Amino acid sequence: MNKFAIQSVTAREILDSRGKPTVEVDCELMDGTRARAAVPAGASTGSREAVELRDGDSGRFRGQGVLQAVANVRETIAPHLRGMDVRRQAQIDQTMIALDGTPNKARLGANAILGVSLAVARAAARASGLRLFQYLGGPGATRLPVPHMNILNGGVHAHWQGADFQEYMIAPYGAAGFRQALEWGSEVYHALQAILEKQGLSVGVGDEGGFAPQVRSNEEPFELITAAISAAGLQPGKDVGIACDPAASEFYEDGRYHLRSEGRKLAAAEMAAYYRQLADSYPLVLLEDGMAQDDWEGWKILMSHLGSRLELVGDDLFCTNVELIARGIKEGVANAVLIKLNQIGTLTETIAATRMARDHGWGAFVSHRSGETVDSFIADMTVALDTGHLKTGAPARGERVEKYNQLLRIEEELGPAARYAGTGAYVVPPGLHRGGRG
Ligand code: PGA
């Protein structure tokens, strides 16, 4: 008997952190090893993302049910995987891609396929007697990422009640190790809470656990966060930097960027100038989706303004898709790629996208989704792929902190072998920025 042979694969519909249905998959091996994985889901999704299959039955979950994806795992995928060696990840993923037969996983659903892909990887690790990060990354997987904690939410994640920019993150790259980085993150988060309360602003939170106050501009959160870093006894720009994901596709209409909170509509060049002003005034180290997914010309302008000073990450632009990333590298529109498993739908394709970025000297920034579960797969994957940084929400809310807590466990497990990515996490190290206000 091959103890690594797959005995069964099954799936069910569960709820994600937003209370919406998602897919969970269980994989069992011949030797009785069991593993489970759950699939995240986005709200500000790129138009070229692999298809997340939803039932569209308005009688259930407002059409958001995933029973068809669940049935696809049980009835179509599972029979083909039975007996396969679970360590053959690439072959298993390829089998599912072939079974689906579409370019964007529209038939079986990327949510069905990804759940299986991740459950299989976890089962292989378990049956091998290895931690997931060790199984995926081997003996070289010893570097802990800089956690980018989203402490102020805007845009669609705050239901357009506050800032237009979607995510304002703190990046404690000056910490000595991951544990200290997380400690600092939590302290800044709570310092921000106190500042917001003092100013009479709401401390209700958005989808990713960050506060969602009704600010009057997209610059104001930078002020508030810089003040919070200082209030926590840390030095902005030296200990802790700021990263921002405006998610600009969400406010791009008719060739302009509509900043509702400021009552302004900006052309790409004006938008780039705005970002440059922010980079001049605050310790900004990373800007994700500063321009819209369809505005490749805007991205080029952004690169010419800020490409030598900031890590410019493409999310909706690339959708973790090697074809789009290859085009982006050729045209020089960014210098880093956001990595989201469910944008492409299998583990092996996600690894390929990460490799392509790194092979061309680009950064790879691993990300959660706004709809999450307590599955911490991306924590292990980030260490395994050695990407040096990830974002997985605020240092609050169970589905967000579970990833950070898993990184604490990994750091502990590695003991003295653990290293912290620090400023080395970025394609453009933060030392190059011209100093914030601190
Ligand atoms: P989403 O947002 O999961 O709603 O797409 C997360 C992000 O943009 O990084």
Query: Residue 437 — pLDDT band, cuts 50, 70, 90?
Result: very low
For residue 51, the 8-state DSSP code is P
Cα 431 to the center of its chain, rounded Å: 24
343 C-beta closer than 6 A to ligand 1:
no
Cα 207 to ligand 1 centre (Å): 10
**188 pLDDT exceeds 50?**
yes
Cα 435 to ligand 1 centre (Å): 29
Query: Mean pLDDT throughout 169-198?
Result: 98
User: What is the rounded CA–CA span in Å between residue 43 and residue 40?
Assistant: 10
For residue 145, the 8-state DSSP code is P
437 vs 99, more confident: 99
**62 pLDDT exceeds 50?**
yes
**434 pLDDT exceeds 50?**
no
Q: What is the pLDDT of residue 438?
A: 33
Could you read off the pLDDT of 317-343 as tens digits, one per residue? Answer: 999 999 999 999 999 999 999 999 999
**100 pLDDT exceeds 90?**
yes
Out of 17, 22, 44, mutate this one to test ligand 1's pocket (max ligand atoms within 8 Å of CB): namely: 44
Kindly report the number of other CB atoms within 10 A of residue 423's CB atom. Answer: 17
To which residue do tokens 């599955």 refer?
375
To which residue do tokens 């008997």 refer?
1
96 vs 436, more confident: 96
Farthest-apart Cα atoms in the chain, separation: 67
Q: Which atom of ligand 1 is nearest to the CA of 156?
A: 4
Give the 3-state secondary structure of residue 70: helix
Query: Residue 433 — pLDDT band, cuts 50, 70, 90?
Result: very low
Q: Of all protein residues, whose CA lies closest to atom 7 belonging to ligand 1?
A: 369
Percent of the chain with pLDDT over 90: 96
Rg value, the chain, Cα: 21
Q: Which residues are the active-site residues?
A: 208, 340
Q: How many CA atoms lie within 13 A of 27 on its CB side?
A: 35
Could you read off the pLDDT of 129-169 as tens digits, one per residue? Answer: 999 999 999 999 999 999 999 999 999 988 898 999 999 99
Q: What is the pLDDT of residue 159?
A: 87
Out of 339, 369, 390, 400, mutate this one to test ligand 1's pocket (max ligand atoms within 8 Å of CB): namely: 369
Query: Mean pLDDT throughout 257-275?
Result: 97
Q: What is the pLDDT of residue 298?
A: 98
For residue 154, give the nearest of 321, 39, 289, 15 by alpha carbon: 289
Ranges of beta strands (E only) in 16-166 are 21-29, 34-38, 143-144, 146-153
User: What is the rounded CA–CA span in Å between residue 28 and residue 19?
Assistant: 27
370 C-beta closer than 6 A to ligand 1:
yes
Out of 156, 291, 315, 341, mutate this one to test ligand 1's pocket (max ligand atoms within 8 Å of CB): namely: 315
Q: Which atom of ligand 1 is nearest to the CA of 43?
A: 4
Q: What is the pLDDT of residue 235?
A: 98
239 C-beta closer than 6 A to ligand 1:
no
Query: Residue 432 — pLDDT band, cuts 50, 70, 90?
Result: low
Window from 42-56, 87-101, 390-404 with minimum mean pLDDT: 42-56
Q: Of all protein residues, whose CA lies closest to atom 1 belonging to ligand 1?
A: 42
Q: Which helix (H) or strand (E) holds 342?
A: helix 341-344
Could you read off the pLDDT of 205-239 as tens digits, one per residue? Answer: 999 999 999 999 999 999 999 999 999 999 999 99
Question: How many angstroms separate the Cα of 257 from the Cα of each of 181, 201, 261, 351, 417?
Answer: 34, 26, 12, 33, 46
Q: Which helix (H) or strand (E) holds 314?
A: strand 311-314
User: What is the rounded CA–CA span in Å between residue 2 and residue 140?
Assistant: 28
User: What is the number of helices (H) and of strands (E) in the chain?
Assistant: 14, 16
Buried b (16+ CB within 10 A) or exposed e, 346-370: bbbbbbbbbebbbeeebbbbbbbbb
187 C-beta closer than 6 A to ligand 1:
no
Task: Note whether 31 and 5 are within 8 A (CB).
Answer: no
User: What is the rounded CA–CA span in Å between residue 204 and residue 369?
Assistant: 19
pTM over 0.85: yes
369 C-beta closer than 6 A to ligand 1:
yes
Cα 167 to ligand 1 centre (Å): 9
Give backbone dihedrals phi and psi of 257, rounded to 5 degrees, phi first: -100, 115
45 C-beta closer than 6 A to ligand 1:
yes
Window from 169-173, 289-293, 345-349, 430-434 with minimum mean pLDDT: 430-434
The encoded tokens of residue 108 equal 């079986």
Could you read off the pLDDT of 366-419 as tens digits, one per residue? Answer: 999 999 999 999 999 999 999 999 999 999 999 999 999 999 999 999 999 999
Q: Which helix (H) or strand (E) holds 241?
A: strand 241-245
Averaged confidence pLDDT in the chain: 96
Contact residues for 28 (Cβ-Cβ < 8 A; gap 6+): 6, 7, 8, 9, 34, 123
Task: Note whether 124 and 86 are within 8 A (CB).
Answer: yes
Give the 3-state secondary structure of residue 86: coil
Could you read off the pLDDT of 400-410 as tens digits, one per residue? Answer: 999 999 999 99
Percent of the chain with pLDDT over 70: 98
Q: Give the residues across from 366 on adjacent strands.
A: 339, 390
To which residue do tokens 């544990």 refer?
179
388 C-beta closer than 6 A to ligand 1:
no
320 C-beta closer than 6 A to ligand 1:
no
Q: What is the pLDDT of residue 436?
A: 39
Look at the alpha carbons of 325, 326, 328, 332 in this order and tell me if their dihedral is positive or negative.
positive
Q: Which helix (H) or strand (E) holds 134?
A: helix 132-137
Q: Which atom of ligand 1 is nearest to the CA of 46?
A: 5
Q: Which atom of ligand 1 is nearest to the CA of 371?
A: 3
247 C-beta closer than 6 A to ligand 1:
yes
**Domains detected in the chain:** 6-129 (3.30.390.10), 137-425 (3.20.20.120)
